[in-house]
Structure 1
Amino acid sequence: MPAQIYAPFERFNFSNNKCFLTGEALNTEEEKIQVFPQWLMSRYNLEDQPFKLLDESMATYKDLKLPCSAAVNEQFLEPLESEVAAAFAAGYEGVKALDELKLFQWAGKLLYGIIFNEIQAGIRQQHAQGEEFNISQSIIHKFSNLHLMLQSINLPLELDGFNPFSVFLFKVDNAGDVFGYRDEINTLTFSLRIKDFGLIICLQDNGANASYHKEVMDKIKGQTLHPIQFEEVNARLFYSAYLFNRLPEYDVMPVEDTIYIEAAPLRGLSSKPLFDDWVPKIYGQVLENFWKNWGYLLFEIIKDPERPMSFLFDANGDFVNAQTIELPR
């Protein structure tokens, strides 16, 4: 029997009695995996740390779980976790050697796990108020596409000449036990800063952000960044992910035992640029949020409204060596 794509958003079933990845019925609602893998939680003592959901309710990292078939976990997810855990343990060089698709699968599974928990919380809240759960069609479209691509973990899925993501990896001079995690589920953007590296993935842009920031990335390629520089890159990418104005479309073509996925051109029928206009003041607001650890305020950041403050580049546009930055890590 040919492989079957599972599309949970068609019937909007987010109960705990179906495997999140395959849709198969589970034997018990206790058949679950952690959203944040145990090895990561143990390494950074995250289990009982607070995790704030979009409805303002608080959970802990260990509370976030995904219904998952034991067989799927054993056959597909645990090997992926083991490979990523080993790469992360080796630091920047280990992560650099890892296949980008596996990084995408790992980060995408984690972010989808958060989305799944957010949807469950939203459904509970709306039902408690006697209302139907509502979510925008564009968000459903993005989440559906992410789930489709995640099935490259367990199905013979062939991405035909494209990657659905942009991956950015940097060597960062982090303090020893730093755990810096951020996400933005509306734009499907993921960021993790640990050990001696920082990783940012735009999970649903078909490589558009990598093209958009090519000039910046070429200037900092191979450099070791100070954490404040990495957070500046973070701010740039989270802001451009917000400005990205296309919803990628895909053709899914099962051929014998393989499912081929082809990406429609992002430009489509529109002559509009792929990204809305970059507004320095709004970027400055994003940057303020990413620089909270260092206490920089918006009025300092946008003293020159057209050229927000930067630790990455000097007035001539040249890269600033991290060793010359005198700030706490």
Structure 2
Amino acid sequence: MQTEIYKPFDTFNFGNRTCFLSGKPLQSVEEKIQVFPAWLLSKYNLYDQPFKMLDENFPTYKDLKLPCAAEVNELYIEPLEAEIKAAFEQGFEAVKALDEWKLFLWAGKLMYGIIFNELQSAIKQQYAQGQGLNISQSLMHKFSQLHLMLQMLLLPIVFEDFKPFSFFLFQIEPETDQFNYRDEINSLTFALRLKDFGFIFCLQDNGANTIYHQEILDKIQGQTLHPIQFEEFSGRIFYSAYLFNRLPEYHILPVNDKIYVEAMPLKGLSSKPYFDEWKPKVYGQVLESFWKPWGFLLLEIIKNLEHPMSFLVDKNSMFIRAKEIDLPG
């Protein structure tokens, strides 16, 4: 097992001759893996579907790849993919039985793969224009820390009494045969809805979004959600992740044969709340996007600014059962 942390952001190494996870030289630029695993691309016929990048380019899903050493893929990536695939094929109960950390690593690898491809594309564009790359240092710091966390796959990394993420898993009814995926790389937020389950990750918030939404979570945790309810809750999480105004920091402490990660207090030197002000109109715009399949417009959603439209709770703030939801059309 490798014992030294690989830090590609220190040297800005995002070429195709170095393994994305271990930093070891590759035998060929063809030594790559898919960002979205082949089994997922095949099941949902995604190979030739367009994937929108931040620069408005549209590569296909199969074009998104990561340089990866064959040994790393065989020993660490493929076993994780096999376990996730088996659970996904069985559905909610099997996904619920998975170790959260394995789902975190799976989602994190996918998110980092997209980031890696975004960085490669940005580097090519900037240098083609004769310019250096200009990306927010705080964003690079987040990406670097996500990459460190992914190295749990091959390094003896131990998180000291905390999880760096918020995770939300729900059973969904009725089932879907479609691939429903959404991410926001600036806030490292990820949502996936398949078959009879859906889950959301805030990959680097030290659990802050879980605490922020505790009131609604107390009402919906353990409940079966209608797809529109899951999308509503996803909208809440994506919006609050955008409002989250802290940049988590970590101490890395190598001790003997382990690497300990310790979270610094989120409060830091600031006395302001962890989240910026929640604005109903902006939240309504988020919901309009998440509810696009059902055709709800912003004016309907925020007709009452104090109480935007909700399918999760009624006017008395009580949970609405999935079977009670009656949608037009």
TM-score, normalised relative to structure 1: 0.98
Query: In 2, Cα distance between the equivalents of 1:321 and 1:91?
Result: 21
SS in 1 for 2:206: coil
SS in 2 for 1:158: strand
SS in 2 for 1:308: coil
AA matched with 1:5: I
SS in 1 for 2:19: coil
For structure 1, which runs of at least 5 residues remain unmatched after alignment?
Answer: none
Identity %: 66
- C-alpha displacement at 1:25, in angstroms? 0.5
- C-alpha displacement at 1:174, in angstroms? 4.0
Query: In 1, Cα distance between the equivalents of 2:214 and 2:78?
Result: 34
Q: Residues 93-140 of structure 1, C-alpha deviation per residue, up to 9 Å, x if partnerless?
A: 011000110000000000000000000011111111111111100100
Query: In 1, Cα distance between the equivalents of 2:328 and 2:88?
Result: 24
TM-score, normalised relative to structure 2: 0.98
Query: In 1, Cα distance between the equivalents of 2:131 and 2:175?
Result: 47
Query: In 2, Cα distance between the equivalents of 1:225 and 1:48?
Result: 31
Paired positions, count: 329
- C-alpha displacement at 1:2, in angstroms? 7.7
Query: In 1, Cα distance between the equivalents of 2:328 and 2:114?
Result: 31
Distance 1:138 1:47, change over 3 A: same
Corresponding position of 2:83: 83
Corresponding position of 1:208: 208
Query: In 2, Cα distance between the equivalents of 1:244 and 1:328?
Result: 35
Confirm or deny: 8 A CA contact 2:2 2:155 kept in the other structure. Answer: no
Corresponding position of 2:95: 95
Q: Residues 165-216 of structure 1, C-alpha deviation per residue, up to 9 Å, x if partnerless?
A: 0110000114441210000000000000001001100000011111111111
Corresponding position of 1:271: 271
Query: In 2, Cα distance between the equivalents of 1:306 and 1:2?
Result: 54
Query: In 2, Cα distance between the equivalents of 1:214 and 1:93?
Result: 23
Corresponding position of 1:312: 312
Corresponding position of 1:28: 28
Query: In 2, Cα distance between the equivalents of 1:89 and 1:118?
Result: 30
Within a 5 Å distance, the mapping from 1:56-205 to structure 2 comes to 56-205=56-205
SS in 2 for 1:167: strand
Query: In 2, Cα distance between the equivalents of 1:39 and 1:218?
Result: 35
Confirm or deny: 8 A CA contact 1:2 1:256 kept in the other structure. Answer: no
Corresponding position of 1:284: 284
AA matched with 2:108: G
Query: In 1, Cα distance between the equivalents of 2:163 and 2:147?
Result: 14
Corresponding position of 2:7: 7
Q: Residues 141-186 of structure 1, C-alpha deviation per residue, up to 9 Å, x if partnerless?
A: 1101100111111100000111110110000114441210000000
Query: In 1, Cα distance between the equivalents of 2:212 and 2:81?
Result: 31
AA matched with 2:269: L
Distance 1:15 1:328, change over 3 A: farther
Query: In 2, Cα distance between the equivalents of 1:167 and 1:109?
Result: 16
Query: In 1, Cα distance between the equivalents of 2:123 and 2:248?
Result: 26
Confirm or deny: 8 A CA contact 1:174 1:197 kept in the other structure. Answer: no
SS in 2 for 1:151: helix
SS in 2 for 1:26: coil
AA matched with 1:124: K
Corresponding position of 1:48: 48
Query: In 1, Cα distance between the equivalents of 2:176 and 2:207?
Result: 32
